Amino acid sequence: MKVGEYCDEFSALISRMLDEDLDQSEQIRLWMHLDHCEGCRAYYEAQCAIRSAIQSLPPVEVPADFTAGVMKRIAEDAPAASRTEAADTKPQSAKNKKTPWRYRILPLAACCALLLLSVQRVGLSSPRSTASETVEYSTADLETEESAGAENSMLFAYAENSDAVNALPLLMLSAAALPFFTDGEEAAVDSAEDGSYYTLDSAQCEALLLWLTEQGLDEDAAALQEALPLAEDTLTLWVWAS
């Protein structure tokens, strides 16, 4: 072995030893090796010194106005109605969901409906041929007081496995698409009791596509058509309006 070298295999064991991840036989094997390998012994000593130094780093000083800065950003966060499920969480029960939703939406007159749209693409089943009848926009199936102003909203959809807070939306639909979920026969898509999220299988996605086309919502239809191939077998889209 050249001067300064260590054994890759044992350096990995040293790393795991520092993290107390070795079983007894691995520990014995490592100690026997360290007994005669100067390079690995030096590596071990260096890693111990590094750990000790990292853990003795002085605590950092948080800027004095940090909390105020965070709260200012929250106050300025225009689409605050987009407070919604984090990407790694599952839909809450309707019972638990209504109150927080009401609380966070009411102060924000410009913001309205919170929707969670789940799209499960389980292969390509045959398209459902029936389109819903045209229905007038209604927020009755949502919590009415929160959904005032939905006409000016956009629906933002995020893939389940992305970070809904930081990621770019996979799909944006205009609020004119909302009636598909709230009214008419196509509202048969699975939804929470309080109407805050909707689940569509692949056939229902296609029904939505057809409905958007029939409504003359060509841009929305094109956006959906573009997004669907990106879906994996199961895809959850998080949708909210702001």
Partner 1 sequence: MTELDWILAAQQGDRDSFACLVQSYEQRVYQLALRMCGNSEDAQDAAQEAFLSAWRGLPGFRREASFSTWLFRLTSNACIDLLRRQKKNASALSLEESGEDLTSPTLRYQPETALEQQLLREGIVNGLQQLPPECRQVLVLRELEQLSYGEIARLLALEEGTVKSRIHRGRKLLRKYLIDNGNFFAPSASKNSESNRRGGAIR
Binding residues (CB under 8 A) for partner 1: these are 3-6, 11-12, 15-16, 18-19, 21, 38-39, 42-43, 45-51, 53-60, 62-63, 66-67, 69-71, 73-75, 77, 80, 82-90, 92, 97, 99-101, 103-104, 107, 163-166
Provide the minimum distance between the beta carbon of 96 and partner 1 in the complex, in angstroms, as a whole number: 9
- CB nearer to partner 1: give 56 or 129: 56
Contacts 24+ apart (CB under 8 A), 16-23: 18/47, 18/48, 18/51
Pick between residue 6 and residue 181 the one whose CB is nearest to partner 1: 6
The tokens of 50 are what?
A: 């590094």
Q: Scanning the structure block, which residue is given the tokens 């007081």?
A: 145
Shortest CB 125 distance to partner 1, Å: 30
Residue partners of 17: CB distance under 8 A and separation at least 6: 27, 30
As measured in angstroms, the least distance from the Cβ of 225 to partner 1 is 28
Q: CA-to-CA distance for 10 and 188, rounded, in angstroms?
A: 60
CB-nearer residue toward partner 1: 84 or 215: 84
Nearer to partner 1, 113 or 164 (CB): 164
Shortest distance (Å) from residue 174 CB to partner 1: 22
Closest CA to 198 of 115, 121, 135: 115
Rounded alpha-carbon distances, angstroms, from residue 135 to 26, 145, 156, 174, 181 = 69, 20, 22, 16, 11
DSSP element (H, E) containing 116: strand 114-120
Q: To the nearest whole angstrom, how small is the minimum distance from the Cβ of residue 145 to partner 1? A: 14
**3-state SS assignment for residue 209:** helix
Residue 76 or 233: the one with the smaller Cβ distance to partner 1 is: 76
